């Protein structure tokens, strides 16, 4: 099993005026290729902070972080913006609750945008993604006229189009009703498996967590790693 992200004793906090608020304290973790992880924990415990650190949107205060890139684990401690941009373009797919689509564009152009960042062209995997996500007949439709569930499926196609090694998802079904949310979760996990993508997903929903293999629970500045206790479906 290949490790794609390793955190060694990392700590992160935020300054608030004179005081310092510690959020993550001496956290060590490894993300493995193809694994799916639900990131759970109370509000304000540090879930988004951890996601932001792994995506390179936040820096760590101390510790070491390594990322698998160009066939080796690289220390990111000295990385500059250009290294993070390259990593995000090539190796990361991001799915947010608010979809974050390019609203003046149609479905095809939204997906093509993420391909173009990696000098990739539309390919059979894109057709397959659109087929499974029910987007084939919507490719020429402007994304702003689509339903919430349809927009979220476009966001998934866009995140997976370049087959990144890691998908970071923050409450990806938070804006959908229960049935659309479960459908989106099923599609996301099936397609990520086909592309051998790891998923790290922040969720408050036990139903969504059930789609993942592992749980990282953030509490008291630490992360407890557990297998998901699968409940029988139906
Ligand atoms: N840029 C920032 N500046 C100052 N404090 C911050 C910043 N980002 C996060 N925090 C603080 O860090 C703590 C953890 O925030 P974070 O957003 O990671 O929590 P969370 O677990 O994702 O919460 P929620 O489930 O409510 O979204 C909170 O106390 C928050 O106020």
ipTM value of the model?
0.97
What CA–CA distance (Å, rounded) separates 60 from 45? Answer: 16
CA dihedral 176, 52, 168, 232 (to 10 degrees): -70
Q: Is 121 exposed, middle or buried (0-12, 13-18, 19+ CB in 10 A)?
A: exposed
Q: Is 93 exposed, middle or buried (0-12, 13-18, 19+ CB in 10 A)?
A: buried
pLDDT tens for residues 37-60?
999 999 999 999 999 999 999 999
The conformation of residue 42, written as its DSSP 8-state character, comes to S
Residue whose CA lies nearest to ligand 1 atom number 18: 46
pLDDT tens for residues 72-126?
999 998 899 999 999 999 999 999 877 788 888 999 999 999 899 989 999 999 9
Ligand 1 proximity of 203 Cβ (cutoff 6 Å) = no
pLDDT given at position 82: 93
Residue whose CA lies nearest to ligand 1 atom number 8: 49
Cα 50 to averaged position of ligand 1 atoms, centre (Å): 10
Residue whose CA lies nearest to ligand 1 atom number 3: 14
Question: Ligand 1, residues 11, 12, 14, 96: which to mutate, most atoms within 8 A of Cβ?
Answer: 14
What CA–CA distance (Å, rounded) separates 170 from 51? Answer: 8
pLDDT given at position 232: 62
Count H helices and E strands in the chain, helices first.
7, 10
pLDDT given at position 112: 95
pLDDT given at position 233: 54
Question: Looking at per-residue confidence, does 141 or 230 come out higher?
Answer: 141
pLDDT tens for residues 175-225?
878 888 898 899 899 988 998 999 999 999 999 999 999 999 999 999 999
Question: Looking at per-residue confidence, does 28 or 174 come out higher?
Answer: 28
Q: Is the pLDDT of residue 167 over 80?
A: yes
User: What percent of the chain clears pLDDT 90, i.e. is strictly above it?
Assistant: 73
Pairing of strands 92-96, 72-75: unpaired
Instruction: pLDDT band for 143, please (50, 70, 90 cuts).
Output: very high
**pTM of the entire predicted model:** 0.92
pLDDT given at position 75: 95
- CA-closest candidate to residue 194, choices 223, 225, 227, 161: 161
| Contact (Cβ atoms closer than 8 angstroms) between residue 129 and residue 158 | no
Query: For residue 15, which atom of ligand 1 is closest to its CA?
Result: 4
Extract the tokens encoding 142.
């402007």
What CA–CA distance (Å, rounded) separates 232 from 162? Answer: 33
């Amino acid at each position: 099993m290949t490790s794609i992200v390793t955190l060694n004793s990392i700590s992160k906090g935020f300054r608030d005026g004179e005081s310092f608020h510690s959020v993550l304290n001496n956290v060590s973790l490894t993300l493995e290729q193809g694994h799916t992880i639900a990131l759970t924990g109370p509000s304000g415990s540090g879930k988004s902070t951890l996601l932001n650190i792994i995506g390179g949107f936040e820096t760590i205060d101390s510790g070491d972080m390594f990322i698998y890139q160009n066939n080796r684990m690289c220390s990111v401690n000295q990385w500059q913006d250009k290294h993070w941009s390259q990593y995000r373009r090539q190796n990361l797919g991001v799915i947010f609750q608010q979809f974050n689509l390019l609203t003046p564009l149609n479905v095809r152009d939204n997906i093509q945008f993420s391909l173009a960042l990696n000098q990739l062209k539309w390919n059979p995997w894109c057709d397959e993604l659109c087929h499974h996500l029910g987007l084939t007949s919507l490719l020429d439709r402007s994304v702003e006229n689509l339903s919430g569930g349809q927009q979220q499926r476009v966001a998934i196609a866009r995140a997976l189009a370049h087959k990144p090694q890691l998908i970071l998802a923050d409450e990806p079904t938070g804006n959908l009703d229960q049935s659309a949310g479960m459908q989106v979760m099923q599609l996301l996990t099936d397609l990520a498996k086909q592309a051998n993508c790891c998923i790290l997903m922040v969720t408050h929903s036990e139903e969504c967590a059930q789609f993942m293999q592992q749980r990282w629970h953030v509490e008291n500045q630490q992360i407890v790693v557990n297998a998901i206790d699968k409940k029988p479906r139906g």
